[in-house]
Structure 1
Amino acid sequence: MSDPAVRLVAISEEPLSVPDVLASLDDATAGGLVLFVGRVRDHDHGQGVDGLSYSAHPSALQRLTEVCEAVAARHDVTGVAAVHRVGDLAIGDLAVVVATTAGHRGSSFEASRDLIDTLKAEVPIWKHQRFSDGTDEWVGVP
């Protein structure tokens, strides 16, 4: 990671830790910290979801790092962190955690929104949902 604002970037098969993300962004100059936690929900598009799995392309970690660096460059932030889970997840599990810090809350809100939106659009991580009726769906696959 070449940008010092990028503090934590990871793709993990282990459960994600919000305290670890927060600790990576500890900074006395940051007056604002915005955290987004994406969780596995029990429904999607009107269908019940029993569980899901995430798969990542081998380039996903490098691409996630690039996204974090781009967000840091576009916003007046002091810290950026993004972690994404892969493997089998149950309802309620944490799938993604992103956070940014800045001198003021406005910059951190804008950067965190940009970070999650860009991550979802550009990082090659794909979701395979299993529905309650026995059907399934891949999401985000090119």
Structure 2
Amino acid sequence: MIKDIFFEDFEIGHVREGGSRTMTETDFVVHAGHTGDFYPHHVDAEFCKTTEFGQRIAHGTMIFSIGMGLQCGDINPRAFTYGYDRMRFIKPVFINDTIKTVVKIVEKRDNPKNASRGFVTEKIEVTNQNDELVLVCEHIISVEKRA
């Protein structure tokens, strides 16, 4: 659904939950193929038995991409992504882990270069099925102001 949400409509502290998704071996293989990242930590089960985790770990970029996708819902033609800050991979994600995303509005500020737009910062938290934090970042969106 398309929803026009202007800068003024965003409220500090507002929280929304995204969906959830279970990571599969296919996800690992497809992501490796898309990115060219075939490091053994992600694709070599025998090698991973010798590591501290004992099994394959998800690509951080995959968890970021899927985590961001899980929070996408309505289309807001008034906003677009400006960038991401302070991204951290807190805990590894394994095959058969289920991740979910929670988004909280933490900041609003004017755009010093364009008075018709403002910046909204969302804190993104991706957790696993045990509610353990696996990824955190800030998502900055540029949002049109009301005329």
| TM-based fold match above 0.5 | no
Greater helix content: 1
Greater Cα radius of gyration, structure 1 or 2: 2
TM-score by length of structure 2 reads 0.30
TM-score by length of structure 1 reads 0.31
